[in-house]
Amino acid sequence: MNGAESLIRTLVDAGVDHCFANPGTSEMHLVQAIDGTTGMRPVLCLFEGVCSGAADGYGRMTGRPAATLLHLGAGFGNATANLHNARRAGSPIINLVGDHARHHVAFDAPLTSDIEGIARPFSAWVRTSRSAMGLARDGADAVTAAMTPHPVSTGQIATLAIPVDCAWGEGSGPVAVPQPQRPATVSGDRIEVVARQLDAKTLIMLDGSGLSAAGQMAAARVAAATGCQVMAVTFPARTEQGPGLPPLARLPYFPEQVIKTLAGVRRIVLAGAEAPVSFFAYPTTPSDLVPNDCDVLRLALLQEDVVGALEDLATAVGAPVHPPQLNAVQRPEGITGALDTRKAAAVIAATLPEQAIVAVDSGGGGAAAVPCQTAAPHTWLNLTGGAIGMGAPLAAGAALACPDRPVLALLGDGGAMYTNQAFWTQAREGLKVGTVIFSNRQYKILEHEYRRLGVNEVGGRAASLFDIGGPDIDWPALAGSMGVPGSRVDTAEGLAAAIERGFESDGPFLIEAMI
């Protein structure tokens, strides 16, 4: 058994069952191993940013790593933006990157690249295999690394560069991977310290598993007993939402909004979250958004047992068994007329299928988060790292992870262009993914930020960089060119009908919503 087959069998035995792939010549032995091994589903993506974004979606929904299969430094480079997002999401991913044979590197052939150098800023673990006999062991170590809780994430990105001679040489056979570590339990002392500080001027901030249903329920019980507030971070990787869960606000985006929200808060308790900071720096607002007279207490790190800590905290404060207030079903009704972002969000809440997974990129879709809380139970996946182009690949990965659940991607037109190749994979795999493009034919956020500089007159050269119309992108035609049926709507009733019709089919669909 060669190194490649030893590696792939190792991964399959450890539960790595999906590989988002765009291979090249140096990966052919790995393709051969996947071809000959049952248990790993290869999913072709026509651009590597789709591979990494899909692996992120898969990891967020299963808690297990998918593999990517990438072609040297250039292929890894194409994957980096969504790896940046995945790193911020705490998703476990194993990147398999083919490299030249070890004896070939010194010849500096055209594709020669510093894979470790490129991978390091995006990976918690990087290794280049040194022998065919050791390749399966390297793969096992990659699984362990991907599943290791990390100071700033729950999973990690592990990147294994595989010189082709390590793939084609005689290997070890499969290697067993130890069970992953469980999240550490938070000490009773820490619970006690926090329990004494909870009052109406305290805000518990949730992230990570704190935003699971169990985490939110425990936090709401604490709030009921102590009068404290509870909020989610601005860009959580994954949140459960819907009827039967407590209402949950999110920290806003712009620093002046955050400052206003936190005015009067004297203590922030971090439950899987980090203290709030400004997304970008501005000349007139601070980076650190914790009020001057506010203490910050750590209940649980993201990689610790956040749910257990919140439940222990509820017990310590003598909280009621059930939160007093839960979201009731209240779907918006009778929304009609010309679309805008607010109406589109209401229509999405009105039509959201039960148990949907919602994947959001930049640009408008986030507006649906609040109305959807009273729609149907669903999972919400957010843009985490600020690198646009995450939503469509993320939706594909989530759909493969949860084939019984409908997926709704809410994408800005600017971000969706970045990784439009994801629509092809959605069609190829027959995924139940609906996409709503919030189409305003602008990088709207940029014009907004530009005016925040104090600019009143936007000149022609600047305007040309914010305007993505001229030519207007025809989204139904673009999606249709890759096998995804599309339509365009400009009214609320049209959007509602298109979403309902779309989810009657089992495959992907796209709606360009003119806002």
Residues 445-464 that bind a copy of itself (CB under 8 A): 445-446, 449-450, 453, 455, 458-462, 464
Per-residue 3-state assignment (H helix, E strand, C coil) for 355-370: CEEEEECCCCHHHHHH
Q: Select the residue interacting with a copy of itself from 58, 125, 235, 380 (CB under 8 A).
A: 235
Structural element, H or E, at residue 195 = helix 188-195
Q: Select the residue interacting with a copy of itself from 58, 125, 424, 509 (CB under 8 A).
A: 424
Please state, in angstroms and as integers, the Cα–Cα distance from residue 420 to each residue in 21, 344, 395, 484, following that order.
16, 22, 12, 11
Amino acid at 364: G
Q: Select the residue interacting with a copy of itself from 1, 15, 63, 101 (CB under 8 A).
A: 101
Q: Select the residue interacting with a copy of itself from 170, 227, 280, 329 (CB under 8 A).
A: 280
Beta-ladder partners of 69: 21, 96
Q: Select the residue interacting with a copy of itself from 75, 92, 332, 353 (CB under 8 A).
A: 75
Please state, in angstroms and as integers, the Cα–Cα distance from residue 56 to each residue in 85, 90, 352, following that order.
8, 9, 23
Q: Select the residue interacting with a copy of itself from 1, 15, 63, 77 (CB under 8 A).
A: 77
Residue 334 or 470 having the CB closest to a copy of itself: 470
In the complex, what is the shortest distance from the CB of residue 473 to a copy of itself, in angstroms, rounded to a whole number?
6
Residue 316 or 446 having the CB closest to a copy of itself: 446
Contact 241, 378 (CB under 8 A): yes
Q: Select the residue interacting with a copy of itself from 88, 221, 250, 343 (CB under 8 A).
A: 88
509 binds a copy of itself (CB under 8 A): no
Q: Which stretches of 119-169 are assigned E, i.e. beta strand? A: 125-128, 157-163
Please state, in angstroms and as integers, the Cα–Cα distance from residue 159 to each residue in 58, 94, 140, 476, following that order.
17, 6, 12, 36
Among 135-143, 184-192, 431-439, 467-475, the segment contacting a copy of itself (CB under 8 A): 467-475
- What is residue 171's DSSP assignment? -
**What is the distance of C-alpha 289 from the center of its chain?**
24
Structural element, H or E, at residue 218 = helix 213-226
What's the CA gap between 398 and 57, in Å, rounded?
Answer: 5
In the complex, what is the shortest distance from the CB of residue 23 to a copy of itself, in angstroms, rounded to a whole number?
6
Rounded to 10°, the helix 341-351/492-504 angle is: 40
* Binding positions for a copy of itself, 375-394, rule CB under 8 A: 384-387, 389
Residue 118 or 160 having the CB closest to a copy of itself: 118
Residue 28 or 213 having the CB closest to a copy of itself: 28
**What is the distance of C-alpha 208 from the center of its chain?**
12
Q: Is the peptide bond before 320 cis (omega within 30 degrees of 0)?
A: no
Contact 18, 44 (CB under 8 A): no
| Token pair listed for 496 | 């509602």
In the complex, what is the shortest distance from the CB of residue 435 to a copy of itself, in angstroms, rounded to a whole number?
14
Residue 242 or 508 having the CB closest to a copy of itself: 508
Q: Which stretches of 48-163 are assigned E, i.e. beta strand? A: 66-71, 93-99, 125-128, 157-163
Q: Select the residue interacting with a copy of itself from 54, 81, 203, 345 (CB under 8 A).
A: 81
Among 55-63, 134-142, 272-280, 342-350, the segment contacting a copy of itself (CB under 8 A): 272-280
User: Mask of contacts with a copy of itself, 298-327, x by CB under 8 A?
Assistant: ------------------------------
Contact 450, 508 (CB under 8 A): no
Residue 192 or 474 having the CB closest to a copy of itself: 474
Among 120-128, 224-232, 342-350, 352-360, the segment contacting a copy of itself (CB under 8 A): 120-128
In the complex, what is the shortest distance from the CB of residue 254 to a copy of itself, in angstroms, rounded to a whole number?
11
257 binds a copy of itself (CB under 8 A): no
Contact 31, 194 (CB under 8 A): no
Among 98-106, 263-271, 296-304, 498-506, the segment contacting a copy of itself (CB under 8 A): 98-106
- What is residue 442's DSSP assignment? B
34 binds a copy of itself (CB under 8 A): yes
26 binds a copy of itself (CB under 8 A): yes
* Binding positions for a copy of itself, 164-223, rule CB under 8 A: 164-165, 168
